[in-house]
Chains A and B, each alone.
Chain A
Amino acid sequence: MPRLVSHPDEVKIISRRFGQGAEKIDRYIELGGYESVKKCLAQTPDWIINEMKASNLRGRGGAGFSTGMKWSFVPKQSAKPKYVLVNGDESEPGTCKDHLIFLHDPHSVIEGTIIAGLAIGAKLGFIYLRGEYRYLLRIVEKAVADAYERGFLGKGIFGTQADFDIITQTGAGAYEVGEESALMESLEGKRGIPRIKPPFPAVVGLYGGPTIINNAETIATVPHIFAMGAEAYSAVGTPRNGGTRLFCLSGHVERPGVYELPMGYNLKKMIYEVGGGIRGGRKLKAVVPGGSSTPVLLPEEIENLGMDFDQVGKAGSMLGSGGVVVIDDQTCIVEFALRTISFYQHESCGWCIPCREGTDWLKKSLKRFHAGFGTASDIDNIRYLAENMLGRTFCPLGDAAAMPTAAFVKKFRKEFEDHLDGKPCPYAKEGVPQLTVV
């Protein structure tokens, strides 16, 4: 069972009910649950969407798109049914926050999904969990069943005229399926190949109907926004970055864990105070701020870095999915880059040339390079490859592989050079570096 942590700097909004038995519907209600959806049932869709816009909530899946704005793109009239699709595929290395939400507070996802449905005029929502989260799927399925039993789902929810259904779905091991259009394909029982855009899901999505797709944390946040008021929620964060988010602190910190901190919280403080500093009193070498696809940052780059979408973007990286991976000075960056690219190579769907071939070659080159058989030109070749994938792939997975790789080479060129001329990896634990890669 994942350990819950806490820190005085935390502002507990989403995680407020964690560890309190709120996976049981009675307890959830006791803790104020299902009040927001009742509030929304008495309001118009436009009101809900305007509140969402006012909350300045930005998508927690990675791209940070305004949630209220996304909902407003769904056409009011549609010949085909509309859908809400909750993205619980959580597969970006470094990210394990949706895990806790499903474990401790599944009803918040259900409640958020109903509200999203009210906002866009959908009568059916899907909650898609990655296949590995089978034990969480059982918890969510139980929560859904309980909600049906109470009349919170189904025909005439909460005694009103409104109908809403939720169907749970499981994946079976594929990172790419987290991409919104590939997610829809997977939900339709197909290979997780992304779709050509336009049309965008808000117009033509699941089964051809207008669909909004939101990350599980985004959706779980929705009821809290209506509970505390959009203004109050927005006020917690920084301008244009409303509220808090679950940061998944991992790697070489003393106290890894998932912490709920206000948007804009200082990264250095997050590592040294919230996380208790670098493990074993070592020095910080680098930090990956938002999941493995985000470009690595150097210690000097995080001094005054506030963790919101805009500030991290300005610093040349991305806030991403909230996975903060801390790397100490005893770590080999080449190995780290190799493990990162191995993941993307393994997960590339294979549809487009630059991603399929690019990730394969990057992995092969880095593997050979790390094993000590590299040449000076390899360093530039690796960068050339990464740069030639950037912006040219079918979906952002290619970028997710290329961006961090380019950053590793650029920021740690010296360390790459240290691997040359048959020299053993300077950070290898015992003599010759060896590495099995999936």
Chain B
Amino acid sequence: MADVTFTVDGKKLTAPAGTLLIEACRKAGIEIPSFCYYPGLSLQAACRMCLVRMAKVPKLQTACTTAVAEGQEFITNSPEIEQARKAMTELLLGNHPLDCPVCDAGGECELQDMTFKYGAGETFYAEAKNHREEQQWSPAVFYDRPRCILCYRCIRVCGEGMDVWALGIENRGSRSVIAPNQGNRLDCEQCGMCIDICPVGALTSGTYRYKTRPWEMHHVTTVCTHCADGCKVTLGLRQVDGAAEIIRSDNRDKSGMNNDFLCAKGRFGFDFAGSEQRLSMPLVRNAAGKLEPATWEDALRVAATRLTEIRGARGGSAIGVIGSNRTTNEENYLLQKFARTVLNTNNIDHERTTDYAAFARALAGQKGKTAGLRDVAFAPAVLLIGGNPTDEHPLLAWALRTDARLSKARLYVANASPIKLERQAKATLRVAAGGYKDLPAQLEKGESDFAKAVLAEESLVVVFGEEFRGADVANLVAWGLKRGNVTFAYLGDHSNSRGAADMGLLPDLLPGYVPLGQPAGFSEYEGLPTAPGKDLRQMLDAAGKGELGALLVMGANPVAKRGLDPAALKNTFVVALDIFLTETAEFADVVFPAASLYEKSGTVTNAFGDVQLVRKGADRAGVKSDFEILVRLAGEMGANIKALVPFGKTAVMGDLGQSRGVQSGEADRHAVWLAANGLEPRLSPFDPFAAFDEIVRLVPGYDLDRLNLLSGNDVRAEIGAAPGSALSTTDAIAPAHDGLFTSGTLGRYSKALKDIQEHQERELLESAAD
């Protein structure tokens, strides 16, 4: 739209015609107060806080609904406007309970701020306030009507934003109340968006209410540990007994890819971290066959001794390593390097939730062909194939809905069964069961209306998931690459599934999907075994046959996931690193208590290849990060720690390859690289950023925009950076398909998620009985 010029308080402003005055003013630094106006939601003009004087108009006008036009003149700052704002806050406070001292929102309440800025310090109301009892709508959401100012933000974010429409309004006038869809209970996605968006303390969170005062917490912004979308969350932390405990998780810092959004898991599912069931001491199996608490020294010694023995006696190929979908990139990188260079084995894998290796191969040599979450969120057209993002990728679903709603993006949904996102779709295609693989050919033919519409798009983001594996991924990608202007997003399941694959937790591929046979930069690894290792299933099979001497499991639970008979592990020496005594850890010989994602630093990569910084927030006595445990274990095994983790000062020129690098006579490449990039070496072997530096240096596709990453922004990793390679099995893939309230093994330790799940099941039963 063409720009127009108008005047606000004598200042000339310019904005595209049709911009809302309130937005134009805010951009120009002129503050217009509002309660009901919320960017991205429908207009209300209900709170009347934004009244301004417009020249030649008899009545005051609402800035939130006035579209600017050429030559208009406004006054936003005058005794008349001041009085209007003051009167509005006075009126609101009349019935407001003013229970700020015990209100969760006290200190972070828009009504308090507004009263402080524009309101009056006195009240002339002598009457009793209207009272209503507080209601609990679900384990997650409580409603306190007297505090509610009826701005309708909650109703709108639930309906327009979430497409759930679980909130409404009942009664009329001053008896109006916000009402949930099941009488006095809420049957919904329990995302808690209504709580976040409430400007006051009317909607409060079941997990946080009455726990603390906002200013008693400190806040750390990090990444959610649950699904593969990677929402930025802000943890509210409190010091308790020398440890930092998480008491709230929300989205007050709206700078992430998730903008306003957070789902139930991100908002309420953090409590596993504070669970009583957390491991806090290493455990070692004693002579009687029972796990008993041990010191770190003992546990490390037992593990190191046995691993060294087995490696010595039967070779590295007798040892298997299983990594995690939730540990950081640095930990994953370190794990595979530890496996390959210390344990001398390529028997390394993780619970693959999708076939990223196939995706990498399909895109080999291509740049800029993957779509980040932000790209999806602003794409003019998206083809969504399979899956159900509403349940499994809540942020993706939010992004697609918002894109369709606010930017009129065209969404095409091809699915074997109906999904909720079809409501936003411009066209839908019902795919026959098992028919996904034929889709590229079908689209190319352009016979159906669906295919025609898709082909007519100038650019397209194709979002798909584990329904495509191996050759099917290649086919689909090839179709898109041929069309041009098509980018892809390939969905995995957990917070760092993509990172696990990218970091080479694969038996036949090095980090960045580099083939073992052409190790390129990784040739500097000391003693890298060249033969491909066993994948996860093969390792477990081998263990069952008594052919695997040792198995190291870091943050994974194959026993539960694969329904394994624990007896299968009885002849294998098992070392587990975990935060809980999982079904797998229960049968380990040594168990190390690990830190959760909220208790450490590093980076994670979401399903879309967006890399984000993980910041240490909580602190838990007795645990160590997986990173530190691995380094200590390697040390205990007598490995060269400096070769494993590049830390400490090394004389760049003086070191002629004795300490690093296989080709003697060569300078320390890492040190050279650091110097060339103007970076300081890391001082501690436990600093994950030492591994991060090496990742950036060595892993194709991870030459990340460091400055942006470290300042808290998401940056892109490229998956197709390495040349292609032949790959082993794709049948080791076992998607998790976690829903809105489940999160693998981890989710089972969240009381909040359990309660919500039970609540929802009850709602379902009752509504089915209706």
Q: Which residues of A contact B (CB under 8 A)?
A: 174, 191, 196, 345-354, 356-361, 364-365, 368, 375, 377-378, 381, 384, 388, 391-394
CB within 8 Å of A: which of B376-404? none
The smallest beta-carbon distance between A220 and chain B, in angstroms, is 30
Residues of the B chain whose Cβ atoms lie less than 8 Å from the Cβ of A358: 91
B47 in contact with A353 (CB, 8 Å): yes
Residues of the B chain whose Cβ atoms lie less than 8 Å from the Cβ of A377: 124
Residues of the B chain whose Cβ atoms lie less than 8 Å from the Cβ of A381: 124
Residues of the B chain whose Cβ atoms lie less than 8 Å from the Cβ of A391: 58-60
- How distant is the Cα of A365 from the Cα of B94 in the complex, in angstroms? 12
A352 in contact with B174 (CB, 8 Å): no
Instruction: Tell me if B176 counts as interface (CB < 8 A to partner A).
Output: yes
B174 in contact with A359 (CB, 8 Å): yes
- How distant is the Cα of A378 from the Cα of B124 in the complex, in angstroms? 8
Q: Contacts A196-B45, A365-B127, A388-B83 given: A356-B173 contact, CB under 8 Å?
A: yes
Please pick, from A191, A345, A375, A392, the residue contacting B48 in the complex, using a CB distance under 8 A: A392
Please pick, from B46, B58, B59, B130, the residue contacting A353 in the complex, using a CB distance under 8 A: B46
B91 in contact with A348 (CB, 8 Å): no
Residues of the B chain whose Cβ atoms lie less than 8 Å from the Cβ of A345: 173-174
Residues of the B chain whose Cβ atoms lie less than 8 Å from the Cβ of A353: 46-49, 88, 91-92, 149-150
Residues of the A chain whose Cβ atoms lie less than 8 Å from the Cβ of B92: 353, 357
A356 in contact with B94 (CB, 8 Å): no
Please pick, from A348, A356, A392, the residue contacting B51 in the complex, using a CB distance under 8 A: A392
The smallest beta-carbon distance between A297 and chain B, in angstroms, is 23
- How distant is the Cα of A174 from the Cα of B171 in the complex, in angstroms? 12
Q: Contacts A360-B130, A361-B91 given: A348-B172 contact, CB under 8 Å?
A: yes
Q: Contacts A357-B174, A392-B60 given: A352-B126 contact, CB under 8 Å?
A: no
Instruction: Tell me if B710 counts as interface (CB < 8 A to partner A).
Output: no
Instruction: Tell me if B95 counts as interface (CB < 8 A to partner A).
Output: yes
The smallest beta-carbon distance between B608 and chain A, in angstroms, is 38
Please pick, from A347, A388, A394, the residue contacting B173 in the complex, using a CB distance under 8 A: A347
Question: How many residues on B have C-beta within 8 angstroms of the other chain's C-beta atoms?
Answer: 35
- How distant is the Cα of A359 from the Cα of B92 in the complex, in angstroms? 12
Q: Contacts A365-B127, A392-B51 given: A354-B87 contact, CB under 8 Å?
A: yes
Residues of the A chain whose Cβ atoms lie less than 8 Å from the Cβ of B46: 351-353, 394
A350 in contact with B88 (CB, 8 Å): no
Instruction: Tell me if B649 counts as interface (CB < 8 A to partner A).
Output: no
B173 in contact with A352 (CB, 8 Å): no
CB within 8 Å of A: which of B332-367? none
Instruction: Tell me if B633 counts as interface (CB < 8 A to partner A).
Output: no
CB within 8 Å of A: which of B125-156? 125-127, 130, 149-150
Query: Which residue on chain B has the smallest CB distance to residue A360?
Result: B174
Query: Which residue on chain B has the smallest CB distance to residue A348?
Result: B173
A354 in contact with B172 (CB, 8 Å): no
B176 in contact with A356 (CB, 8 Å): yes
Interface-central residue, B48, B90, B125, by most chain A CB under 10 Å: B48
5 contacts between A and B (CB under 8 A): A348-B173, A349-B172, A353-B150, A354-B91, A364-B127
Residues of the B chain whose Cβ atoms lie less than 8 Å from the Cβ of A346: 173
- How distant is the Cα of A47 from the Cα of B83 in the complex, in angstroms? 49
- How distant is the Cα of A348 from the Cα of B177 in the complex, in angstroms? 14
Known: A347-B172, A354-B88, A392-B51. 16 other contacts (CB 8 A): A191-B172, A196-B45, A348-B172, A350-B150, A350-B173, A350-B174, A353-B91, A353-B92, A359-B173, A360-B95, A361-B127, A375-B126, A392-B48, A392-B88, A394-B45, A394-B46
Residues of the B chain whose Cβ atoms lie less than 8 Å from the Cβ of A348: 172-174
CB within 8 Å of A: which of B3-51? 43-49, 51
- How distant is the Cα of A348 from the Cα of B173 in the complex, in angstroms? 5
Interface-central residue, A174, A377, A391, by most chain B CB under 10 Å: A391
Q: Contacts A174-B172, A349-B172 given: A196-B124 contact, CB under 8 Å?
A: no
Residues of the A chain whose Cβ atoms lie less than 8 Å from the Cβ of B91: 353-354, 357-358, 361, 388
Give the 3 A-B residue pairs with the shortest CB-CB distance, closest first.
A388-B87, A357-B91, A350-B176
Residues of the A chain whose Cβ atoms lie less than 8 Å from the Cβ of B88: 353-354, 392
Q: Contacts A196-B65, A381-B124 given: A361-B47 contact, CB under 8 Å?
A: no
B127 in contact with A368 (CB, 8 Å): yes
A352 in contact with B125 (CB, 8 Å): no
- How distant is the Cα of A358 from the Cα of B124 in the complex, in angstroms? 13
Q: Contacts A357-B94, A360-B130 given: A350-B175 contact, CB under 8 Å?
A: yes
- How distant is the Cα of A393 from the Cα of B126 in the complex, in angstroms? 24
Query: Which residue on chain B has the smallest CB distance to residue A380?
Result: B124
Interface-central residue, A348, A351, A365, by most chain B CB under 10 Å: A351
Instruction: Tell me if B516 counts as interface (CB < 8 A to partner A).
Output: no
A354 in contact with B48 (CB, 8 Å): yes
The smallest beta-carbon distance between B32 and chain A, in angstroms, is 15
- How distant is the Cα of A353 from the Cα of B126 in the complex, in angstroms? 19
- How distant is the Cα of A237 from the Cα of B58 in the complex, in angstroms? 29
- How distant is the Cα of A358 from the Cα of B174 in the complex, in angstroms? 9
Interface-central residue, A348, A354, A381, by most chain B CB under 10 Å: A354
The smallest beta-carbon distance between B200 and chain A, in angstroms, is 13
The smallest beta-carbon distance between B507 and chain A, in angstroms, is 61
- How distant is the Cα of A346 from the Cα of B175 in the complex, in angstroms? 9
The smallest beta-carbon distance between A207 and chain B, in angstroms, is 18
- How distant is the Cα of A375 from the Cα of B124 in the complex, in angstroms? 11
- How distant is the Cα of A356 from the Cα of B171 in the complex, in angstroms? 12
- How distant is the Cα of A262 from the Cα of B58 in the complex, in angstroms? 31
Instruction: Tell me if B102 counts as interface (CB < 8 A to partner A).
Output: no
The smallest beta-carbon distance between B149 and chain A, in angstroms, is 7
- How distant is the Cα of A388 from the Cα of B91 in the complex, in angstroms? 9
Query: Which residue on chain A has the smallest CB distance to residue B84?
Result: A392
Cβ proximity bits B521-533 to A, threshold 8 Å, 1 near / 0 not: 0000000000000
- How distant is the Cα of A438 from the Cα of B404 in the complex, in angstroms? 46
- How distant is the Cα of A149 from the Cα of B94 in the complex, in angstroms? 58
Q: Contacts A348-B174, A353-B88 given: A191-B169 contact, CB under 8 Å?
A: yes
Residues of the B chain whose Cβ atoms lie less than 8 Å from the Cβ of A174: 172
- How distant is the Cα of A358 from the Cα of B58 in the complex, in angstroms? 21
Residues of the A chain whose Cβ atoms lie less than 8 Å from the Cβ of B176: 350, 356
- How distant is the Cα of A381 from the Cα of B84 in the complex, in angstroms? 15
The smallest beta-carbon distance between A59 and chain B, in angstroms, is 19
Q: Contacts A388-B87, A392-B48 given: A356-B174 contact, CB under 8 Å?
A: yes
Interface-central residue, B84, B125, B130, B174, by most chain A CB under 10 Å: B174
The smallest beta-carbon distance between B222 and chain A, in angstroms, is 38
The smallest beta-carbon distance between B85 and chain A, in angstroms, is 10
Query: Which residue on chain B has the smallest CB distance to residue A351?
Result: B46
Query: Which residue on chain A has the smallest CB distance to residue B96?
Result: A357
Q: Contacts A361-B91, A392-B48 given: A196-B127 contact, CB under 8 Å?
A: no
- How distant is the Cα of A55 from the Cα of B124 in the complex, in angstroms? 51
Residues of the A chain whose Cβ atoms lie less than 8 Å from the Cβ of B44: 351
The smallest beta-carbon distance between A382 and chain B, in angstroms, is 10
Interface-central residue, A345, A378, A381, A392, by most chain B CB under 10 Å: A392
Residues of the A chain whose Cβ atoms lie less than 8 Å from the Cβ of B169: 191
- How distant is the Cα of A165 from the Cα of B171 in the complex, in angstroms? 34
Residues of the B chain whose Cβ atoms lie less than 8 Å from the Cβ of A359: 173-174
The smallest beta-carbon distance between A63 and chain B, in angstroms, is 14
Residues of the B chain whose Cβ atoms lie less than 8 Å from the Cβ of A392: 48, 51, 59-60, 84, 87-88
- How distant is the Cα of A364 from the Cα of B59 in the complex, in angstroms? 28
Residues of the A chain whose Cβ atoms lie less than 8 Å from the Cβ of B51: 392
- How distant is the Cα of A85 from the Cα of B173 in the complex, in angstroms? 26
The smallest beta-carbon distance between A257 and chain B, in angstroms, is 33
Residues of the B chain whose Cβ atoms lie less than 8 Å from the Cβ of A384: 124
Residues of the A chain whose Cβ atoms lie less than 8 Å from the Cβ of B175: 350
- How distant is the Cα of A354 from the Cα of B92 in the complex, in angstroms? 8
Query: Which residue on chain B has the smallest CB distance to residue A355?
Result: B173
The smallest beta-carbon distance between B403 and chain A, in angstroms, is 24
The smallest beta-carbon distance between A180 and chain B, in angstroms, is 16
B126 in contact with A357 (CB, 8 Å): no
A394 in contact with B127 (CB, 8 Å): no
- How distant is the Cα of A413 from the Cα of B286 in the complex, in angstroms? 93
Q: Contacts A353-B91, A354-B88, A356-B150 given: A196-B173 contact, CB under 8 Å?
A: no
- How distant is the Cα of A354 from the Cα of B174 in the complex, in angstroms? 11
